[in-house]
Amino acid sequence: MAGRFEFADTLGPEKVIEITDPKRGLRGLLVVDNTAAGPAIGGCRMVPDATAEECFRLARAMTLKNASAGLPHGGAKSIVLEDPNMPLEAKEDLLRAFARAIGEIKSYIVGPDMGTNETVMAWMRDEIGRSVGLPREIGGIPLDQIGATGLGLAAAAQAAEEVLGIRVEGARVAVQGFGAVGRWAARFLADRGAVIVAASDSRGGIYNPDGLDMGRLLALKAEGKSVSAYEGGTVIGPEGPITSDCDIMIPAARPDVIRMDNVDAIKARLVLQGANIPAASGTEEHLHARGVHVVPDFIANAGGVICAAVEYRGGSQSDALTSIRDLVYGNTMEVLKRAKAEQILPRTVALAIAEERVRKAMALRR
């Protein structure tokens, strides 16, 4: 039995659950990591391939993210192991079944993630009475529609400019994962004068050192096409932006896209982690040794969960946007200033801050 507790440490996880429904072909995972500060908020991800370890790592990132943002929530993550592009009727049936399966886990508040959206959250609330990231029509703040996470990344870039001197205006930006997070981050940074030189999605990417037109990229995505169909540039692979010639690189897709086999080819001066756990173990140390600055995932991409927490408490969209800007900017400033002064990894600073807050919350519980 010892092997079944392979993820356990002094913070969590509280629950690791495997869910199956043979009749519907449902296979799912749920990890509730830590609820000392309050019920756990974490997205439901729909991907055909994931492991319990990945689910735990994502749940832990949510614990740290909520703590860093000072939110009264813990962290969790759920994964439905299926292709998110399956027929809509079948997808609804599968995800409603998953919602019913997790309904009794009252400590988990489900939100959108890769492969799920506001409509899925409406299905889930209809089944179990709780979810965040709901459609506007039923009182939600649709975080993907307003670019909540992307807005936070732009706020992190502003803080990095002030601490590190890496200017946003004129910066060449590469975005790996031009989806709900990446496309909004690109839009907000382009509005501040940045030049988007590379963008990719799961089907491919495009690179142009003179810059890509945001309007044309967004139009391609609206038409259901890959950004690799963009006319006027060099076609690259889905992971091409990671090693593109740029000043700011934003990994905004799957975990572990920064690895030992590509870390030394990264040319960016600043990495803003738009995805959760986008860097494999040891890679941030390599970047730090080369003078590449990294704003960790649970600091840089907290905009989505901040928005969700505001929605959960009945706040407005305006409240959410203000909170995202203020909290992500302030947290990034604190982390980068301390890391610079102490000449240590930003993640080391961020972990120390977040874990201290979690442990203080744990000390107040029986």
Q: Give the Cα separation of 178 and 196 in Å (integer).
A: 11
- The DSSP result for 213-259, as a single string, is -HHHHHHHHHTT--GGG-SSSEEE-TTGGGGSS-SEEEE-SSTT-B-
Residue entry with tokens 């960790």: 296
Q: What single letter denotes the amino acid at residue 211?
A: G
Burial (CB < 10 A; 0-12, 13-18, 19+), residue 84, is middle
CA–CA–CA angle 67, 2, 28 (5° rounding): 60
At 293 the three-state DSSP class reads: strand
Amino acid at site 122? A
Q: What is the dihedral of CA 66, 67, 73, 78, to 10 degrees?
A: 50
Catalytic residue among 23, 77, 267, 360: 77
Q: Is 77 among the catalytic positions? A: yes
Please tell me the distance from the alpha carbon of residue 299 to that of residue 346, in angstroms, as a whole number.
10
Backbone φ, ψ for residue 266 (5° rounding): -70, 130
Which residues are paired to 207 by β-bridges?
A: 198, 234
Q: How far is the C-alpha of 239 from the C-alpha of 244, rounded, in Å?
A: 9
What crossing angle do the helices spanning 346-363 and 317-342 adopt, rounded to 10°? 120
Cβ atoms of 166 and 247 closer than 8 Å: yes
Structure tokens at 336: 């980068």
Residue 76 pairs in a beta bridge with 32
Q: What are phi and psi of 149, to 5 degrees?
A: -70, -40
| Residues labelled as active-site residues | 77
